[in-house]
Amino acid sequence: MKRRSFIKKGAATASIMGLGISGISAMEHFEVSKSVPGKTFNMNYAPHLGMFKNLAGNDPIDQLNFMADQGFTAFEDNGMKNRSVSLQEKMAQTMVNRNMTMGVFVAHKIYWKEASLTTGKEDSRKEFLQQIEESVTVAQRVNAKWMTVVPGHLDLKLDIGFQTANVVESLKYASDILEKHNLIMVLEPLNFYNHPGLFLTKIPQAYEVCKAVGSSSCKILFDIYHQQIEEGNLMPNMKMAWEEIAYFQIGDNPGRNEPTTGEINYKNIFKYIHSQNYTGVLGMEHGNSIKGSEGEIAVIEAYKQSDDFK
């Protein structure tokens, strides 16, 4: 028996002891659903490490193989840059072997509480660009195309126009670095409720910044969870900003858990994105609404349900 299969079966057997009747029924259904060979989703949904640790075990390679076994064709890892080179290489090779696309990782230090790129200060820009250079090496090692950039906190002493100009200038320098390697930084607007005081919050604002930078290496990460809280109007904003969107992330609201657990109609959202011939990655940047193996099964079932839009 292959090691990863042994671990998955062992984890499932051990965890089932803690499930109720409904959990056992779900586990039985899950075992049947796993037996469908070659079953994938309509789009490249990307789980992250830890999302299926109860069913797959703690080893990152076993988790990647488990994701592929369930039909997921992509993977994202915010913390990839901080992993050892040897682990990065093993994960990259596993993704190649399983035909999985590497999604985003965070490209630089994010300043959540203090102004950085908005200030226009040379030291902040230099630090940011050095970290972008470092991220190029990581991207090449793990076969990544996209990396997440968050410009940081507002500078409350500067007019928003000056701050925007400062951010745009730094992003132009970063684009010069990334264009040489055909890599893309995706700017992520974040909502005011979870991350108060940040510079970049709305899709129209991100669109304006990307247009000002004017580079194929500077695009938008449309996080559906953040934008439901920040401004709503999800599909119209996708349509208006489409030419600058390069990546999506997923999370229902409230709770930031899997689709079907909140107010967002993800089946309609996915149907719209698919109708635009989107072939990129949709990162599953959310938690599990239920703990343990039962919750991990619920995540898989939620994606099957929401992906059934044809």
Instruction: Show the domains of the chain with their CATH numbers.
Output: 3-306 (3.20.20.150)
Whole-angstrom CA distances from 57 to 75, 111, 159 are 17, 33, 50
CB 27 within 8 A of CB 21: no
pLDDT (0 to 100) of residue 4: 45
pTM: 0.90
pLDDT (0 to 100) of residue 20: 41
% the chain with pLDDT above 70: 87
At 155, the amino acid letter reads D
CB 52 within 8 A of CB 63: yes
Q: Tokens 């797959």 map to which residue?
A: 56
Residue 291's Cβ-count burial label (10 Å; 0-12, 13-18, 19+) is exposed
pLDDT level of residue 6 (50, 70, 90 thresholds): very low
CA dihedral 307, 31, 22, 13 (to 10 degrees): -130
Which tops the pLDDT comparison, 243 or 15?
243
At 163, the amino acid letter reads Q
The 3-state secondary structure of the chain reads CCHHHHHHHHHHHHHHCCCCHHHHHHHHHHHHHHCCCCCCCCCEEECCCCCCHHHHCCCHHHHHHHHHHCCCCEECCCCHHHCCHHHHHHHHHHHHHCCCEECCCECCCCCCCCECHHHCCHHHHHHHHHHHHHHHHHHHHHCECEEEECCCECCCCCCHHHHHHHHHHHHHHHHHHHHCCCCEEEECCCCCCCCCCECCCCHHHHHHHHHHHCCCCEEEEEEHHHHHHHCCCHHHHHHHHHHHEEEEECCCCCCCCCCCCCCCCHHHHHHHHHHCCCCCEEECCCCCCCCHHHHHHHHHHHHHHHCCCC
Over the stretch 115-149, which tens digit does the pLDDT of each residue have?
999 999 999 999 999 999 999 999 999 999 999 99
Residues found in the chain: 310
- For 85, residues 6+ apart whose C-beta sits below 8 A from its C-beta are 141
Over the stretch 32-87, which tens digit does the pLDDT of each residue have?
344 344 568 999 999 999 999 999 999 999 999 999 999 999 999 999 999 999 99
CB 53 within 8 A of CB 292: no
pLDDT (0 to 100) of residue 11: 45
As given in the structure block, the two tokens for residue 88 are: 């990065």
* CA dihedral over 22, 27, 33, 39, signed as positive or negative: positive
As given in the structure block, the two tokens for residue 52 are: 């299926």
pLDDT (0 to 100) of residue 40: 85
Give the Cα separation of 119 and 171 in Å (integer).
Answer: 13
pLDDT (0 to 100) of residue 28: 52
Max mean pLDDT range (5-9, 23-27, 65-69): 65-69
Query: What integer best gives the mean pLDDT of the chain?
Result: 91
Over the stretch 169-182, which tens digit does the pLDDT of each residue have?
999 999 999 999 99
